[in-house]
Amino acid sequence: MLGSLESQPEIHPHRLLLWGGLVLFIIVGSVWYVAQQFLLEEELHQIESDIQQVNVPVKPKMASSTIESGIDTSNWKTYRNEEYGFEFRYPVAFSFRDGYEIAAINKDNDLVYIGKIKKSTVEEFIREELLRINQEMSGPHCESCGYGGPPSEPKIFTFHGSRATRQEQGDEAGTYRIISIPEKGLKIQYSSSNYEHLPKLEEILETFKFTK
C-alpha cells in the first residue's frame, strides 16, 4: 500500500504556476473582449447619432420678405460680400462695424460677427476643435478676467445647404453661439448680454445666403 502511494506522480510547482497563469489570462482576455465590445457599440451609436444630425437642416429661408417669426424684413439692409460669397439682411437699427476680419453688425450689446477659419472638412475641423478644447480645459486661464470656460463640443448640422457645426460659450459679458462652416472657411458668432435676445439675432441668420 505504501509502495502504491509513493509511486503517484508529484505535481511540479512550475506546472501549477503555468495553469494558474493560463486561467488568469483567459479571465483577463474575456473581460477585455467584453469591454471592447461595449466601447465599440457606444462608438457606433455616436456615429449614427452624428449622421442623423447631419441630415437635420435648419429652418428653410423664406422666399418672401417675411421670415417665419412674422417679422417684416422688407426695409432691412443687405450686406453682400463678393470675396467670400455670401450675403445677409439685417434691421436698420443695427450698425455696420469696422475692424473685424470680414463683417460685423451690432445694436447695443447684440453682435453678429463673421470671421475666417481654416478651410477643411467638417470632420477635420471637429477633430482639431476637440483637441483645442481639451488643451484649453487643462491649461491656465484668467478667471478674474471673466473667463467662462471653453465652448461646448461642436455638433454637426446643415446651415443653408452647407455642412456646419454649432457651439455655445458664455462668460460674464454674455452668451456666445458659434456656427462654423469649415468647407467655406467661415465662422459666424453671435452674442448678447441678454440671453433672450439671441432668437432675434437668429432671425438675421435666417436671411443668410451663400452666393458661390
Please report the pLDDT score of residue 57 as a whole number: 39
The single-letter DSSP state of residue 57 is B
Residues (pLDDT < 70) of the chain are 1-16, 32-33, 35-70, 139-148, 172-173
* Rg for the chain, CA atoms, rounded: 29
- Region 77-138+146-210: CATH code: 3.40.1000.10
pLDDT value for 30: 77
Q: Looking at beta carbons, which pairs linking 66-73 to residues 24 or more positions away fall under 8 Å? A: 67/203, 67/206, 67/207, 68/206, 69/199, 69/203, 71/203, 73/207
**pLDDT digit string, tens, across residues 148-169:** 678 889 999 999 999 999 999 8
From the centroid of its chain, how far is CA 115?
A: 17
pLDDT value at residue 191: 92
Whole-prediction pTM value?
0.65
Q: Please give the mean pLDDT across all residues of the chain.
A: 78
**pLDDT given for residue 163 in this prediction:** 96
Predicted local distance difference test score (pLDDT) of residue 45? 55
DSSP 3-state of 195 = helix
54 vs 71: CA distance, rounded Å: 28
Domain residue limits, the chain: 15-54, 77-138+146-210
CB atoms under 10 Å from CB of 125, counted, come to 23
What pLDDT shows up at residue 59?
A: 41
List the Cα angle 91/206/113 in 5-degree steps. Answer: 65
